[in-house]
Amino acid sequence: MIISLRDSIAIALTVFVVTPNAFAACPANTAPVQFAWENASGVGAKWLYGAVENTYNFNYTNAQGQADSVAVTVKLRDPDNINVDPDVRDSGKHPYDAAGSCKPSTGETTDAWAGDGSLNDPWDSDCSGDPQKVSTGTNKVFGTPFFTWVLMSSHHEQTAYLDFTFSKPAYMDNFTIGDIDSAGLTYTYNNFVNTESPGNSYQDEVGFSAAKSGIAVPVSLFNQGSGLIIDGAVARSRYDTNQNYNVGADDPIGTVSANTSQPFDTFTVSYSNGKDDADDEQANPQLYAWWSNTNGATNGSSDNHAVRFPGFTFCVAELPKVDINLSKSVSKSSVKPGDTVVYTLIATNSGPDAASGVEIKDLLPVGLTYVSDDSAGQYDPVTGKWLIGDLGNGASKSLQITVTVK
């Protein structure tokens, strides 16, 4: 009996899958997207006093020159209630004053927070000034066009987080944080009323992380100021118990920037009071005996330490544009049972971009028995999957499958 293999060739070519896993960073004709906080005219991303989550939409031009948009959702996570917002001094939530709020200490005439607490306000800086300004948000103490992040820490392990979630995979181009500074415990004791120690000592510490579909993406730091210590993707101010490194918000020595070389969908910034300040407080409880004699040494308490975000740039990651062409030929067009036949498959990427994770599915027709192939284990005769992997623009790969006719 003579069997024609022409039809089986056509049928076998009907299914193939291309699964690219790489993205093109800032493709041609695509401008980086500017995430800008509100300016003096009120234009830009706003974060109001007490906000927890906001979504902002940004327009950009994609790789095809078309108008497109991407949404960025910013969410505050504050598991230890250290972010300075309306509820930070509520009854039962203030880290030192169980009654909540505070009342003026000796010599203080202004108490911006309503109500009296149970302490004689040892950390009175959290009560002075406008609570709407000395707090987290835009158009606060750092003005416009900046995001001000203020914490009131009672322990250095307490951390607050800002999650930036993107509706499309993106690369971070430049995320900058400024005013990363510190003030030593002994300096605070010698230059303020002693009840201000340790509340006015602090060590800003910020960290960066990113992920795509829950899998970590590396973050790199650059332009780090000379006043900072860098530990992986964490930056903290240099700390000296006798020094005041409370730098100006525009001073580059307290500034660091972050970016990524891989796409992500979530970019997270963490903020806390550093361990050096906590160790200093633990080692010198005599500097605030009014508290430590009764309550023990503090471990990283700080009033109103803050950092500043001036906005950031990112670019949307776009999937590569690829065109995979598959051809298939057979060594014999007519065969009889018992004959050996070799199929040759050729996959070609016609571009314009490189492809990765390319996979072809080619099931053998009924009536043929698999013998061997030359894929070095990349072809599975049971499922018909041929794992090609990376295939550059214009590149080709071939597969030869040897079968016998039943």
pLDDT digits (tens, 9 = 90+) for 302-343: 888 999 999 999 999 877 777 888 888 899 878 888 999 999
Residue 199's alpha-carbon distances to 97, 251, 401, in angstroms, are 13, 24, 75
CB of 270 closer than 8 Å to CB of 207: yes
Please tell me the predicted confidence (pLDDT) of residue 34: 95
State which of 295, 316, 337 marks the end of a domain: 316
Whether residue 324 sits in one domain with residue 308: no
Single-letter amino acid, residue 51: A
State which of 296, 316, 336 marks the end of a domain: 316
State which of 262, 286, 316 marks the end of a domain: 316
Please tell me the predicted confidence (pLDDT) of residue 120: 55
- What's the rounded mean pLDDT across residues 168-180? 96
Q: What is the mean pLDDT of the chain?
A: 85
- Total number of domains in the chain: 2
Higher pLDDT, 108 or 303: 303
Winning range, highest mean pLDDT, from 110-114, 227-231, 325-329: 227-231
Whether residue 331 sits in one domain with residue 291: no
- What's the rounded mean pLDDT across residues 14-28? 52
Exposed / middle / buried, residue 54 (Cβ in 10 Å: 0-12, 13-18, 19+): middle
CB of 203 closer than 8 Å to CB of 274: yes
399, two tokens: 């597969």
CA-angle at 51, arms to 115 and 98, nearest 5° = 30
- What's the rounded mean pLDDT across residues 4-16? 37
Whether residue 310 sits in one domain with residue 327: no
Whether residue 250 sits in one domain with residue 211: yes
Whether residue 382 sits in one domain with residue 273: no
Instruction: Tell me 270's DSSP state.
Output: E
Higher pLDDT, 320 or 113: 320
Structural domain that includes position 367: 3-22+320-405
Share of the chain above pLDDT 70, in %: 83
Residue 289's alpha-carbon distances to 90, 102, 188, 240, 282, in angstroms, are 26, 20, 14, 21, 12
Whether residue 242 sits in one domain with residue 149: yes
Whether residue 294 sits in one domain with residue 234: yes
Whether residue 391 sits in one domain with residue 305: no
Torsion of CA 126, 127, 131, 136, to 10 degrees: 10
Where are the alpha helices (H) located in 289-340, listed in sequence order?
289-295
Please tell me the predicted confidence (pLDDT) of residue 95: 66
- Indicate the pLDDT class of residue 266, thresholds 50, 70 and 90: very high
Phi, psi of 278 (to 5 degrees): -65, -45
Please tell me the predicted confidence (pLDDT) of residue 26: 77
Place of tokens 């016609």: 350
Instruction: Map residue 194 onto helix, strand or coil.
Output: helix
Whether residue 51 sits in one domain with residue 12: no
CB of 386 closer than 8 Å to CB of 378: yes
Beta bridge partners, 170, equal 264, 316
Whether residue 350 sits in one domain with residue 269: no
Which element (helix H / strand E) includes 188?
Answer: helix 185-191
Look at residue 9 and tell me whether its pLDDT is greater than 50.
no
- On whether residue 113 sits in a domain, the answer given is no
Contacts of 255 (CB under 8 A, 6+ apart): 176, 177, 178, 179, 180, 223, 224, 225
Mind listing the pLDDT tens digit for each residue in 137-151?
A: 999 999 999 999 999
Higher pLDDT, 387 or 5: 387
Which element (helix H / strand E) includes 294?
Answer: helix 289-295
- Indicate the pLDDT class of residue 72, thresholds 50, 70 and 90: very high
Please tell me the predicted confidence (pLDDT) of residue 366: 83
Higher pLDDT, 89 or 240: 240
